[in-house]
């Protein structure tokens, strides 16, 4: 069973140099830890962001500003889900700073869990985008 944690702070998205990814930095705390730890979550642009935007949410069109805002909302949601999945997979058990790579390559087996979570939150995410972006 995954231990609960509290997210103290989130910053991002940051564009990683020399990688086609956006990243978010989380500061998390467990009750048993004396100090918070940092977790960097990377979201691959083509394999995760574009896939969920086109295949799961079926979002098309919009102005460049609307597309930027949609990408910000979607990458944050993907990063949040990836952090929860990493916790369930016991990747955050040790009190160490952690980097969660895109769910491709060595972590490709976790992509199906991410896809299931995105499908579950599809209606709420579409509603949020409609309210905030008017698309």
Can the peptide bond before residue 13 be classed as cis, meaning omega within 30 degrees of 0? yes
Which pTM was predicted? 0.90
Residue 65 lies in a domain: yes
Considering its fold, how many domains does the chain have in total? Answer: 1
Residue 1 lies in a domain: no
DSSP state of 59: -
- Residue 60 has a pLDDT of 75
- Residue 115 has a pLDDT of 92
Alpha-carbon span 79 to 25, nearest angstrom: 9
Residue whose entry in the numeric block shows the structure tokens 């990688």: 19
Tell me the three state secondary structure of residue 17. coil
Kindly give the parts of the chain with pLDDT less than 70.
Answer: 1-2, 135
- Residue 2 has a pLDDT of 64
Residue 47, token pair as written in the block: 């394999």
- Residue 63 has a pLDDT of 84
- Residue 22 has a pLDDT of 94
Domain region containing 74: 6-133
Residue 79 lies in a domain: yes
- Residue 32 has a pLDDT of 85
């Amino acid at each position: 069973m995954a231990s609960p944690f509290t997210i103290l702070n989130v910053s991002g998205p940051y564009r990683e140099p020399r990688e086609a990814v956006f990243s978010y930095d989380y500061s998390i705390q467990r009750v048993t830890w004396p100090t918070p730890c940092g977790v960097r979550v990377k979201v691959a642009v083509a394999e995760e962001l574009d896939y969920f935007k086109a295949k799961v949410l079926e979002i098309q069109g919009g102005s460049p500003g609307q597309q930027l805002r949609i990408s910000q909302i979607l990458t944050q949601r993907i990063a949040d889900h990836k952090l929860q999945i990493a916790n369930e997979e016991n990747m955050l058990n040790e009190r160490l700073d952690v980097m969660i790579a895109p769910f491709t390559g060595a972590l490709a087996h976790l992509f199906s869990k991410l896809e299931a979570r995105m499908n579950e939150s599809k209606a709420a995410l579409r509603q949020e985008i409609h309210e905030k972006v008017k698309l």
